[in-house]
Chain A
């Protein structure tokens, strides 16, 4: 069996997920195990998230020093929907006190880092 490129597999899985085929995730897991590619699962997930953006499905992780409330979450959703021209935006939020303040948004292809931690790091680099 010829080895499929990661890009092609990710595109196919993203397309299936966007069409609502939840079973594709199990099939992907089986494919990765069978082909001894399970160590690359992180890269496959990132690739799939990339292609999902192209299909109008944006996943975003929000890291913040304090827990964010629903209205703030909705605001972020709206901004991202507008930016990516997306059909749906799914938000996962994580509390990370190391950020000290501000927040950090991460989608598959972009990052918005307004945290105090990153600003302090930048200052350290300049100094």
Chain B
């Protein structure tokens, strides 16, 4: 019986060899020479391309890696799984393609790892399309200047540092200054204002407890349905931390390329640079400034360059980027912060001092800037927010002078008081993004002098009362302002009336 079986097998084998298509069956192979710290050195595979996927045979199945160092005698690759199973002498095969991840609407509402595998315990992702993790950025002719607003719902940002769809706006600050909170509010605002913008939140080496809280909040606010979370924790291999932003971008690009709008949040690129430094040092690339490799600028520039507003011929979609950088003791002149500042179209700088003074979001009016967002700002907000930044900066300057003496003329006193009211007004609780009309009415009430008789300490109260009254009595007007165009003189006088009525109740 056994002999017959062997004969049958042998016959089948002969037939298989006769029909053998060697091009398909014979795979290029090499062997593992050294392995350790998530990095593997492979001998052979002379045909391997940069960033090509390698499959390493182990006792417990196949472990993937991708080639990063192509050298004369061997290649250095970074493992995408655990190195515990990989041993020297193991066979390595070329997969023949670069790393690809699933993209498309099937990913909405899901939490995935940088390889597109679900982490949320949900069913397998059956995406119709896959896209390479690394893609070239769209060329000059395929782009259009940024002109549509991406409302964050945060008054101080939308009024002073407006962000446009397709823009790259850096959020920079020390630890615990509210960087993630700003991006979270922005994501919530997209759902509240029904903008249709898809959020891609990319957690790079973030504490999993923080990530879990963030996902819970997104679910509670009803934002998760239009959000994709690409998650990596501090215990993940450096290779996954390195890949995460590219994966998230590939997922966002799907929507951009299909005439939709997406927002990619990279939380944070400092950890990304650190992961890349680790990989580079283990791959024995020469270290440069702060031990980062020479191409750490290119690492981030090629990533952020993929965020763009597409031309009408390409569908007019957009991918907006909000990269986050964590500074040490407010030092924005360190290597990675200066790199990313120079790559992006502006930055929102968060100050620890302001944060602990209770001014939240702790945005520094002097150091923050939006280079292209002005063209994208809604006319309504622009009409009241035009002088806000200047006024606030002047107030801070005057306020510091005022500390030295109390003999101030009435104009200066008024300016300081208005500045105090503005500062109070710009304080905004978390998870409460504001719509266009709410922003317009609030800023107008202070800048027009309508709230001049209100004590600065009662500004938030007065603002809440004003918005409540406006919402109850002026529904059609608020809808009109929400459309974004500059309110007419009649509409403004209507608003002034409401402001006057509300202010009376708060006069000190």
Q: CB-CB contacts of A41-52 with B at 8 A, as 1s and 0s?
A: 001001100100
Verify if B95 is at the interface (C-beta below 8 Å from A). Answer: no
Helix, strand, loop or mixed for chain A's interface? helix
Counting CB contacts under 8 A, is A72 at the interface?
Answer: yes
Q: Which of B6-14, B105-113, B125-133, B282-290 contacts A (4 or more CB under 8 A)?
A: B6-14
Contact with B72, one of A7, A83, A108 (Cβ below 8 angstroms): A7
How many Å lie between the Cα of A82 and that of B60 in the bound state? 35
The contact string, 1 if C-beta is below 8 Å from chain B, for chain A 86-127, is 000000000000000111011011111110001001101100
Contact status B43-A106, CB under 8 Å: no
Select B91's contact among A50, A82, A111, beta carbons within 8 Å. A111
Which one of B21-29, B151-159, B267-275 is at the A interface?
B21-29
* Complex alpha-carbon distance, A109 and B30, angstroms: 6
A residues less than 8 Å from B27 (CB atoms): 110-113
Measured CB to CB, the nearest residue on chain B to A79 is B20
B399 interfacial by beta-carbon distance below 8 Å: no
Judge whether A111 and B26 touch: CB under 8 Å.
yes
* Those of A1-22 within 8 Å (CB) of chain B: 5-7
Determine if A5 and B73 form an interchain contact, defined as CB atoms under 8 angstroms apart: yes
Q: Which residues of B contact A106 (CB under 8 A)?
A: 29
Shortest Cβ distance from B201 into chain A, in angstroms? 29
Does A29 make an interface contact (CB < 8 A)? no
With A83-B26, A101-B9, A109-B44 given, is the CB distance from A6 to B17 under 8 Å?
A: no
Contact between A5 and B72 (Cβ–Cβ < 8 Å)?
A: yes
**Taking A79-B17, A102-B13 as contacts, is the C-beta distance between A108 and B61 under 8 angstroms?**
no
Closest to A124 in B: B61
* Also in contact, A114 and B26, with CB within 8 A (given A108-B44, A122-B61, A124-B61): no
List, in ascending order, chain A residues with CB within 8 A of B26's CB. 83, 105, 110-112
0/1 interface trace, chain B 52-73, chain A, CB 8 Å (1 if under): 0000010011100000000011
A24 within 8 A of B: no
Say yes or no: is A28 at the interface (Cβ < 8 Å to chain B).
no
A75 at the interface (CB under 8 A from B): yes
Q: How large is the interface on B (under 10, 10 to 19, 20 to 34, 35 or more residues)?
A: 20 to 34
> Which residues of the other chain, B, contact A83 by a CB distance below 8 angstroms?
22, 26
Partner of B43, one of A46, A66, A72, A75: A46
Number of A-B contacts (CB under 8 A): 71
A66 in complex: contacting residue of B6, B25, B91, B93, CB < 8 Å = B6
Whether A121 touches B57, Cβ cut-off 8 Å, given contacts A72-B14, A79-B22, is: yes
Shortest Cβ distance from B16 into A: residue:
A114
A75: chain B residues within 8 A (beta carbon): 14, 17-18
Chain A, residue nearest B63 (CB): A125
Is A76 positioned at the interface, with any CB of B under 8 Å from its CB?
A: yes
The answer for the CA separation of A5 and B73 in the assembled complex, in Å, is: 8
Nearest CB in chain B: distance from A80 CB, A: 8
Contact A76 B17 (CB under 8 A): yes
Chain A residues whose C-beta falls within 8 Å of the C-beta of B28 in the assembled complex: 109-110
Task: Provide the residues of chain A in CB contact with B62, threshold 8 Å.
Answer: 121-122, 125
Q: Does B31 contact A (CB under 8 A)?
A: yes
B20 touches A125 (CB 8 A): no
The answer to whether residues A124 and B31 also contact, given A6-B73, A110-B26 and a CB cut-off of 8 A, is no
CB-based nearest A residue for B73: A6
Task: State the CA gap A112–B30 with chains docked (Å).
Answer: 12
* Interface pair B61/A43, CB less than 8 Å apart: no
Interface centre among A7, A106, A111, A114 (most CB of B within 10 A): A111
A124 touches B60 (CB 8 A): yes
Q: Report B-chain residues with C-beta under 8 Å of the C-beta of A47.
A: 43, 73
Tell me the nearest residue of chain A to B17, going by C-beta: A75
Complex Cα distance, B385 from A34, in Å, reads 79
Residue of B nearest to A43 (CB): B43
Q: Mark B68-93, 1 if CB is under 8 A from A, else 0.
A: 00001100000000000000000101
- Give, as a whole number of angstroms, the nearest-CB distance from A69 to chain B: 8
Cα distance, A83 to B6, chains bound together (Å) = 28
Residues of B with C-beta under 8 A to A72:
10, 13-14, 17
- Cα-based distance from A106 to B18 in the complex (angstroms): 18
Closest to A82 in B: B22
Instruction: Determine the chain A residues whose CB is within 8 A of the CB of B22 once the complex forms.
Output: 79-80, 82-83, 112
Q: Which 7 A-B pairs have the closest CB atoms?
A: A125-B61, A111-B29, A83-B22, A110-B26, A112-B26, A112-B25, A125-B62
Q: A72-B17, A122-B62 are in contact. List 4 more A-B contacts (CB 8 A).
A: A46-B44, A66-B10, A121-B62, A125-B61
Q: List 21 A-B contacts (CB under 8 A).
A: A5-B72, A5-B73, A7-B73, A43-B73, A46-B43, A47-B73, A76-B17, A79-B20, A80-B22, A83-B22, A83-B26, A109-B30, A109-B44, A110-B29, A111-B27, A112-B22, A112-B27, A113-B27, A121-B61, A122-B61, A125-B61
